[in-house]
């Protein structure tokens, strides 16, 4: 098999050598913000999560692609990540569910990748220096270095506009009516929501008036990519919905709800990306192992009318809030867990109870 040499260069000048996989990067250069994810499985779900828009995903688990891919595991219409970095790409798939291999999926989706990278060294570097822009591909190191330095990263960029749906659509036939804002919504989330409601998914820029005109029992604020700062139109809509309809937010939706309630949002050094983050539920004292994918976080401190409900046991960061006066709650992690553990799926039932007036 022909091997095409490639390199990865971070914005601080650190260079890693490897081989090109997946789609060919335009001009031999792919750029984005380099982050790492610690999941052991679920690589397809990770790559098709729209929350990775603008980012290059480093998989810390060394062997990726061994069970192939299947369209049933896609979390969105296509991958929105800028690229993938792996230690060892499996050349032979082994699963009865597989209908293709990972390398072919990357090529078909137009996603470039690089293999043969010392991902342990790269992960340790990101942990020490923080997530940063990078560039990889078959271009020479000098060109990759310039591209890495010129890559703006995700700060101050409205990535939600790149991933949201263009037109409303309906999913499921549950007993309640939920309007879900698509900031980068995952299909596994829709599967859980459709168990409790008929879900009308609307574009991220939909005004509050249009949502209320649909007469929903509740409004869901989805996950999504990047910096919540530029998504001011969403905060405006949330502000007009609070107190008029129950609201439940996940990940970016949690940040947007918290910011609307007055919280400060800041960027973590290297984010939380993985399927094994311990979170304490402060109401009952239990610990949930959670799936997470975010670079931004709600700052600890008083939010008028809101109570802290969950904290991350790794770094004590805010993982959940509840505002009873306006019938709203949110969590930073992913209770739908696609991929990941199922400890937190009870939150969808709590949303149903909130809509029914029982919580």
Question: Among residues 45, 125, 192, 251, which one is catalytic?
Answer: 251
Is-contact 348 341, C-beta < 8 A? no
Q: Which CB contacts under 8 angstroms, 24+ apart, belong to 318-323?
A: 318/258, 319/279, 319/290, 320/254, 320/279, 320/281, 321/254, 321/257, 321/258, 321/261, 321/263, 323/242, 323/261
Q: CA-CA distance, 109 to 131, in Å (whole number)?
A: 25
Query: What are the tokens at 299?
Result: 């700052």
297 has catalytic annotation:
no
Rounded alpha-carbon distances, angstroms, from residue 273 to 37, 47, 104, 268: 5, 12, 25, 11
Q: CA-CA distance, 297 to 35, in Å (whole number)?
A: 16
DSSP secondary structure string for all residues of 252-279: HHHHHHHHHTT--EEEEEEEEEEEEEEE
Is-contact 64 47, C-beta < 8 A? no
334 has catalytic annotation:
yes
Is-contact 177 215, C-beta < 8 A? yes
Question: Among residues 125, 192, 310, 334, which one is catalytic?
Answer: 334
The helix/strand/coil state of 200 is strand
Known catalytic residues are 251, 334, 336
């Amino acid at each position: 098999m022909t091997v095409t040499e490639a390199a990865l260069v971070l914005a601080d000048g650190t260079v890693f050598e490897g081989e090109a996989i997946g789609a060919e990067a335009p001009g031999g250069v792919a750029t984005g913000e380099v982050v790492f994810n610690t999941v052991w499985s679920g690589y397809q779900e990770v790559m098709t999560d729209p929350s990775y828009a603008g980012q290059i995903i480093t998989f810390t688990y060394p062997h990726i692609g061994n069970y192939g891919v299947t369209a049933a595991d896609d979390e969105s219409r296509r991958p929105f990540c800028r690229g993938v970095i792996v230690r060892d790409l499996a050349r032979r798939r082994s699963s009865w569910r597989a209908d293709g291999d990972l390398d072919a999926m990357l090529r078909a989706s137009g996603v470039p990748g690089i293999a043969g990278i010392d991902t342990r060294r790269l992960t340790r570097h990101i942990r020490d220096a923080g997530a940063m822009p990078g560039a990889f591909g078959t271009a020479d190191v000098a060109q990759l270095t310039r591209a890495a330095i010129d890559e703006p990263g995700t700060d101050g960029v409205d990535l939600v506009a790149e991933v949201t749906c263009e037109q409303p659509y309906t999913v499921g036939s549950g007993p309640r009516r939920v309007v879900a804002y698509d900031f980068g919504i995952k299909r596994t989330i829709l599967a859980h929501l459709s168990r409790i409601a008929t879900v009308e998914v609307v574009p991220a820029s939909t005004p509050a008036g249009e949502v209320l005109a649909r007469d929903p029992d509740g409004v869901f604020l989805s996950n999504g990519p990047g910096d919540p700062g530029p998504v001011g139109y969403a905060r405006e809509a949330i502000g007009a919905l609070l107190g008029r309809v129950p609201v439940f937010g996940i990940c970016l939706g949690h940040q947007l709800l918290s910011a609307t309630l007055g919280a400060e949002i800041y960027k973590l050094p290297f984010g939380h990306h993985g399927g094994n983050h311990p979170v304490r539920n402060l109401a009952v004292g239990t610990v949930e192992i959670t799936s997470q994918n975010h670079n931004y976080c709600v700052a600890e401190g008083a939010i008028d009318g809101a109570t802290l409900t969950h904290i991350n046991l790794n770094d004590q960061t805010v993982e959940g809030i509840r505002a009873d006066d306006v019938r709203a709650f949110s969590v930073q992690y992913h209770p739908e867990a696609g991929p990941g553990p199922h400890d937190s799926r009870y939150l969808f039932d709590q949303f149903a109870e909130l809509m029914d007036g029982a919580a």
